[in-house]
Structure 1
Amino acid sequence: MDALPSPDEAIEATRLWLERAVIGLNLCPFAKAVQRKGQIRYVVSDATQPLQLHADLVRELERLRDTDAETIDTTLLIHPGVLGDFIDFNEFLEVADAAVADLHLEGEIQVASFHPDFQFEGTAADDITNYTNRSPYPTLHLLREASIDRAVAAFPDASAIFETNMETLEKLGHEGWRKLFSL
């Protein structure tokens, strides 16, 4: 088994991915503003079991709920020690959604997912379009729905983001993706 990164290493790798891929390639046109304002909370879970991750998720959902959006608009819960298998990770998303419901946060906070082995249904594992959702470590992204609503209202055609991202990555290719992180 590979050694787990330190929390600082996991955060640094995630920030680099966010800056070079998510923001740099404009995969999420809404990320730049919250990054620039310092409103992204990076948290590394030391969980090695899904139950431990669930406890960390609940704690972070509560923190996001209880903190002003000007201070923390969104949270990246990075968990390198658990759910390394994409199928297990994908199944855990039901647990994450249930945690949102149990805390009565539906319509207030939602959970998005990023994983090093992310794979859209119907694609090959090495399909470059999967990289739109590939992060250095398994990551749960906790988003305020009010922030999403504001961002979508300000973006002329939010529904086109998915297709634009696919085109961007197809043009970039695997070699271009690797070069993003070798700078």
Structure 2
Amino acid sequence: MATESLPVYRRLSGMAGLALPEAGSSMEEVARRAGWEAVRLNLGFDDLLRFRRACVLETRSKGQELWSGSRWAVLRGVSEAGVWLQYGASALRFVSREELEKEWWGSVWVWIPAATGSKKLRPGVRGERVTRLQVALAQLGHWEGYPTGLYDGSTRKAVAEFQKANGLAADGRAGPRTMAMLLQLLGEEKVP
């Protein structure tokens, strides 16, 4: 992800009224009030290099205010050397990989439409969402063949492979974390 995620974040925040949580609020509360679902992923720095959309990093210490007085930072760009972060309305700030790894514990918040995450796709389900899931998996090299729209054994296997390759629990069911990771890697606003 480079700074091309900036327009995506602006679009998301503009559409949903999404803002970083204030003291006493959680990311889930902020997203829910705006009609979205906030999904937390626990990742490493190398995972961030593959992201295609803006997301929010949470700092290590919940009791202290770090990095410009905030424990939340919007990830706006990433390179091997470090990340570009924004804290609230402040200017972008470059943080080296080493500095980031001292203060960040791997918690990344991704926003997905509320209806998407609440309905876990699993074997036996049929429909357009399953077709979109199969297409997304194919784009990332985890699905071969023609999308059928049926969540069958092949789909379950492809989802489990995707989950395993991306540090998620490999249960073969496409829930909020799987959908959020698909969204981040594909850079799309509409997820299965």
TM value normalised by structure 2: 0.24
TM value normalised by structure 1: 0.25
